[in-house]
Structure 1
């Protein structure tokens, strides 16, 4: 039985309906012939030089990425432009590119389900549902098998996700017991209020900024308000578990003649981590 790109797209778009994507997003088939035969698929977070080369070298006919290659409109894609070079490389090599972005973020299961599973959480529902009672939406809320101190939970997060220079950073009392957790793969500081309203003990996401995080934690001093501790991880690491999820969905639906692989390329842009001189709280560094 011959499997074509369109057959793979049918599986992907059943799991991650394009209608779930935000209006500003760019999801779907970027390049490739829907009628082309597929024998190997590679799943990744970022369509960048490393993953494109991996797809070519591993003999894939389709690269499935989470992040879009062309999120903003362009008028030209010459081969001497970084994104144009990638697109030309894909086309010349006969490799299609498909992107599932915010539709994969909100689907059930989706990006945050994969993150929650990595952390050992039992998911109870979305953090920000599409509508009341829906099981789709951004982020997930889940519970740990048993409560554990926050400092142990931060280590759990670090050990569960791929290693990055960013690592896992925790904010809040190290000894606070954590049992109920909210997660949001990708940039999630716009959901700090939602996580607080959900009454969780900790919130795991990526790209937390200084001021929103500090202002969030300051609310712990407000009577009657309980704010979750925060865990900040690398954007790429928070979404990488989705690659395994997508590969499992494709592998379970496509014939055995199609091999589905997960990219091992670490495409997080941060490559160096260093600690500066330690300072005492409240004292300026010398």
Structure 2
């Protein structure tokens, strides 16, 4: 079959075939946000967040930017360049770059955001945590009837190849995800054996009851809140492993790029794809004090007189020069919505920095 260059319209068709807009929550803002449907597309850049830095990267190397998080979730009455959203729009329009978003429709897709997180961690026998047709509300899973449920739903639950201590599992998670200042933190005793794991990319704290009901030892998610976490671990024999919101959703990008190329190839179209390695997690620094005798100790770990030295991390690869740039299913992004999925001491990422070596742009 002869292949020809794709258009924005072709890409929108392929992406919406994988992530139908009808699967998105009513409050969400998905689909084409910027661009001309008939414009040609040779290169597509995938990223979690449509920040000004990501927009500048797209302007330099692509004709279509695909992001997980919407640019304007709460609506906007202005796109003045004095605002971050306005700078993104101006940068993309000037460069002729379109912007497409797959958010909560990608959260529940099969495969979707949580499938990618489960695969990155190494889970087996994975299935939906809250299948389509169910809804986690107030610590309960409520059922509703929808046509074509397939294997869609919020979160995923699966098993590790073998049980392992919680501390070892947290290291597994840390190695699977790009490095962020916040790292990985967990409730529970470090030596507790865990095997059945629930995951929810993005803010999935409200799925704790569903994870416990599914027999999970651990729920891996992002944006853990103090009171919600206390309630969850108090009510259920469940460990919460909290990671950065951005990092928990970053693994989805490569798979989404693969699905776009496959969908276009079926129609005789072709594009090159790449995954942005710009770190858009907003947290840049984490500082912990050395424990002191006059301070309370962790219940599972007595206070130590000296804090162990942190292992050295490999140096960051040098970033290529960028052109001059103009000035999260996500609880933090949602207007008063439930907090489910739609998340270095050394080195510290500067704004627009990239993850550790090994997380490189993907292209074909």
1:26 to 11, 26, 29: 29
| TM superposition shift of 1:80 | 2.4
Shift in Å, 1:123: 4.1
What is the TM-score with the length of structure 2 in the denominator? 0.73
Structure 1 residue 116 and structure 2 residue 123: aligned? no
Residue 257 of structure 1 and its aligned partner are, at CA, apart by 4.3
Task: State the Cα deviation string for residues 148-196 of structure 1 (Å, max 9, x = none).
Answer: 1111001100010000001110111212211110000000111111111
1:49 aligns with 2:45: no
1:225-270 deviation digits (Å, cap 9, x = unpaired): x522110000000000011111111233334741000001000000
TM-score normalised to structure 1 length: 0.92
| 8 A contact 1:2–1:37 mirrored in 2 | yes
The residue matched to 1:254 in structure 2 has which SS? helix
Partner of 2:66: 64
Let me know the Cα RMSD of the aligned residues. Answer: 1.7
Residue 145 of structure 1: how far off its partner (Å): 1.1
**Could you tell me which residue of structure 2 aligns to residue 107 of structure 1?**
109
Match of 2:82 in 1: 80
**Are 1:237 and 2:247 counterparts?**
yes
Counterpart secondary structure, 2:92: helix
Do 2:125 and 2:159's aligned partners in 1 also have CA atoms closer than 8 Å? yes
Are 2:238 and 1:228 aligned? Answer: yes
State how far apart, in whole Å, the 1-side matches of 2:132 and 2:228 are.
24
2:186–2:242 contact (8 Å) kept in structure 1: yes
What residue is the counterpart of 2:16 in the other structure? Answer: 13
**1:269 alignment counterpart:** 282
1:65-121 deviation per Cα after TM superposition (whole angstroms, max 9, x unaligned)? 000001112222122222112101111110000000000000100000000000001
Deviations 1:122-156 (CA, angstroms, capped at 9, x unpaired): 24311111126751111000111111111100110
- For 2:158 and 2:79, locate their aligned partners in 1 and report how far apart those are by CA, in whole Å: 43
Counterpart for residue 204 of structure 1: 220
Q: Tell me, in whole angstroms, the C-alpha distance in 2 between the residues paired with 1:145 and 1:11.
A: 35
Q: Which runs of 5+ in 1 are unaligned?
A: 220-225
Secondary structure (helix, strand or coil) at the match of 1:277 reads coil
Contact 2:51–2:84, Cα closer than 8 Å, also in 1: no
Look up the match of 1:254.
264
Q: How many residue pairs are counted as aligned between the two chains?
A: 277
Tell me what 1:160 maps to.
176
> Which residue pairs with 2:319 in the alignment?
none
Q: Partner of 2:130: helix, strand, or coil? A: strand
- In the alignment, structure 2 segments of 5+ residues that lack a partner are 135-148, 304-364
Deviations 1:27-69 (A, max 9, x none): 00001011110000000000001111111112x0000000000
Range 111-120 or range 242-251, more displaced: 242-251
2:161 to 136, 139, 145: 145
- State the secondary structure of the residue aligned to 1:175: coil
For residue 3 of structure 1, give the secondary structure of its aligned residue in structure 2: strand
**CA distance, structure 1, for counterparts of residue 298 and residue 121 of structure 2:** 34
Higher helix share: 1
| TM superposition shift of 1:273 | 1.3
Deviations 1:191-213 (A, max 9, x none): 11111111101110000111111
